[in-house]
Structure 1
Amino acid sequence: MSTAETRDYSGLAKLFHWLMAAIIVVAWLVGYYGGAMLHYGVSDQETAEKIWAITLHKSIATTTLFLIVGRLIWRAYRRPPALVDMPPIMKHLTHLGHAALYLLMIAVPLSGWANSSSAGYSIPVAGLFTIPGLGPKNPELTPYLVSAHWFLSWALAITVLGHFLFALKHHFLDKDSTLRSMMPSRSA
């Protein structure tokens, strides 16, 4: 068998991958809905719905902080399988893409945490408990943190979309096992 045929990820790596993918997509959509589609002060109902959506967004998104720690620990002890045969520039770009994903999976929730902290809001985790603020309330800083969180969230969305499209490219154009190697039905 070639490297492409035997390449596979561990069950725990797949669990981290798909759980984080689902959480990131749902948190992003709920955050977009609450942040862009609803407005404070339009009506009591819309204000309440915005508060509900943003609280739900934070409660979902904060779980990624814990999952990324677990994922990084797992990755430190269990290296991912080697890349399939591809030109060196593609391997380099793949590593850069994965580095960007990991960086953004850390930066986005941290920027949201900092934003909520500066605005004086609590930070719920999966509706189970709250985490303390990263610093004191600082309304002057909040608009900058809102912008940073918005920018980083869009950067993450674009990077995730690119990751998804390249997985499809591997599957349909290159006809290699990259996508199949991460599917839940196969385990190492």
Structure 2
Amino acid sequence: MQAPLTNRDYNPLSKLLHWLMALVIIVAWGVGYYGGAMLHYGVSDGETAQKIWAITLHKSIATTTLFLIVARLLWRASHRPPALADMPKIMEHLTHLGHGALYFLMVAVPLSGWANSSSAGYPIPVAGLFTIPGLVSKTPELTPYLVWTHWFLSWALGVTVVGHMLFALKHHFIDKDSTLRSMMLGKKA
């Protein structure tokens, strides 16, 4: 393990993985919301085709997070992040809890989507390049529970990401510390 960086600056690969995952998660969430909530099967052939396209695009984007989170966890296991900014102990605990929730949800959301598609018997594309095998066998009676689980976890991830962003902005504009700058690509904290 490396010692924490005293200047509160994350290393370049940590920054890249952070922002790449943020982009993928936000885009996948938006496309998933559009395909899942805004479009409906059977309304018209055009809307059904658009829903199928949106859900397939969502899966192609979202499945890349499975590979990114493995890379991120492996990197994080061997590279300690910089120490937290000075803050009250309760805020330190809440920060660790928030980061733990983010990591848990970054694993749980794609796994629940993978299980959901598998139970319904649908392919799981990865970035449009290849498909991964089903996580569970085709089990249509399980699908409604997995749909709900994926929906719930996705909203939990969305709320957690928004909270993460708001706290980063709080650090920058209210606390006026280097927390946000420490994660910016090409910037020093």
What does residue range 26-45 of structure 1 map to in structure 2 within 5 Å?
A: 26-45=27-46
The change in CA–CA distance for 1:4 and 1:179 in structure 2 (over 3 A counts) is farther
CA distance in 2, matches of 1:53, 1:91: 39
The answer as to whether partners of 2:171 and 2:178 remain within 8 angstroms in 1 is yes
Aligned to 2:65: 64
The answer as to whether partners of 1:4 and 1:84 remain within 8 angstroms in 2 is no
CA distance in 2, matches of 1:78, 1:185: 19
Aligned to 1:80: 81
Deviation at 1:4, TM superposition (A): 10
The answer as to whether partners of 1:8 and 1:182 remain within 8 angstroms in 2 is yes
Structure 1 segments of 4 or more deviating over 3 A?
Answer: none
CA distance in 2, matches of 1:171, 1:107: 30
Deviation at 1:149, TM superposition (A): 0.3
CA distance in 2, matches of 1:128, 1:187: 36
CA distance in 2, matches of 1:69, 1:5: 27
Deviation at 1:187, TM superposition (A): 5.6
CA distance in 2, matches of 1:75, 1:33: 32
CA distance in 2, matches of 1:71, 1:141: 31
Aligned to 2:133: 132
TM-score by length of 1: 0.96
The answer as to whether partners of 2:10 and 2:182 remain within 8 angstroms in 1 is yes
SS at match of 2:20: helix
The answer as to whether partners of 2:6 and 2:83 remain within 8 angstroms in 1 is no
Deviation at 1:186, TM superposition (A): 2.0
The answer as to whether partners of 1:11 and 1:187 remain within 8 angstroms in 2 is no
Aligned to 2:109: 108
SS at match of 1:124: strand
Deviations 1:14-70 (A, max 9, x none): 000000000000000000000000000000000000000000000000000000000
Bigger RCO of structures 1 and 2 (CA < 8 A, at least 6 apart): 1
* Counterpart code for 1:131: I
SS at match of 2:125: strand
Tell me, yes or no, if structure 1 residue 186 matches structure 2 residue 184.
no
Note the residue ranges of structure 2 that are not aligned, 5 or more in a row: none
The answer as to whether partners of 1:117 and 1:136 remain within 8 angstroms in 2 is yes
The answer as to whether partners of 2:21 and 2:65 remain within 8 angstroms in 1 is yes
* Counterpart code for 1:167: A
CA distance in 1, matches of 2:5, 2:17: 22
Aligned sequence identity (%) = 79
Note the residue ranges of structure 1 that are not aligned, 5 or more in a row: none
Deviation at 1:90, TM superposition (A): 0.6
Give me the CA root mean square deviation: 1.5
Deviations 1:81-112 (A, max 9, x none): 00011111111100000000000000000000
Aligned to 1:123: 124
The answer as to whether partners of 2:115 and 2:135 remain within 8 angstroms in 1 is yes
Aligned to 2:49: 48
